[in-house]
Amino acid sequence: MTESTTRHGAGPDRGTGAVVVVAAALLDRGRLLAARRSAPAELAGRWELPGGKVEPGERPEDALVRELREELGVEAETAERIPGEWPLKPGYVLRVWTARLLSGEPRPLEDHDELRWLARDELDTVDWLDQDRPAVAEAARRLPGV
């Protein structure tokens, strides 16, 4: 890979300087995976799409595959970028991809203390982080209707 493709989208976004946090709308058998954060204290108990920070030199999609391996113990692949970008704390932005499981059953290995597979009509049964809500709503459109 050339330097330019290796660096594309990696670490701090080259346009804005913001650190990119990637998260997955992991879809399997008509359900979306929700993960309950165990830390830090101000976020503990809230639910999110699993993911984490892109490291310098890393493609966002590769970062997401790595984070899902580390946090959930699964192999997954990204499918489709959910359009949009959402601000987190100052200097951080959230980007979301749909993803599918290749192998393994997700377990809360890191950062989370509970996981739930939610059908479309169950998505509002957990308290999502505010910044994840637009992407969750968009991911819901990819789930079978009720």
Q: Please pick, from the candidates 132, 136, 139, 143, the single residue that binds ligand C5P as defined by CB under 6 A.
A: 132
Q: How many residues bind ligand C5P (CB under 6 A)?
A: 16
> What does the block give as tokens for 48?
């999110």
Considering beta carbons, is residue 18 or 43 the nearer one to ligand C5P?
43
The radius of gyration computed from the CA coordinates of the chain, to the nearest angstrom, equals 15
Considering beta carbons, is residue 5 or 135 the nearer one to ligand C5P?
135
Interaction residues for ligand C5P, span 95-114 (CB under 6 A): 111
We find the least distance from the C-beta atom of residue 142 to ligand C5P, in angstroms, to be 17
Interaction residues for ligand C5P, span 18-57 (CB under 6 A): 21, 23, 43, 48-49, 51-53
Interaction residues for ligand C5P, span 57-96 (CB under 6 A): 88-89, 92, 94
We find the least distance from the C-beta atom of residue 134 to ligand C5P, in angstroms, to be 11
Rounded CA-CA distance 98/81 in Å is 6
Which among 14, 1, 106 is positioned nearest to 54, based on CA atoms?
14
- 50 strand-pairing partners: none
Rounded CA-CA distance 9/3 in Å is 12
Rounded CA-CA distance 122/58 in Å is 34
Task: Determine how many CB atoms are found less than 10 A away from the CB of residue 31.
Answer: 17
Give the ranges where the chain is alpha helix by DSSP (H): 3-7, 60-72, 133-140
Considering beta carbons, is residue 29 or 89 the nearer one to ligand C5P?
89
Considering beta carbons, is residue 3 or 130 the nearer one to ligand C5P?
130
Residues of this chain that bind ligand C5P (CB under 6 A): 21, 23, 43, 48-49, 51-53, 88-89, 92, 94, 111, 129, 131-132
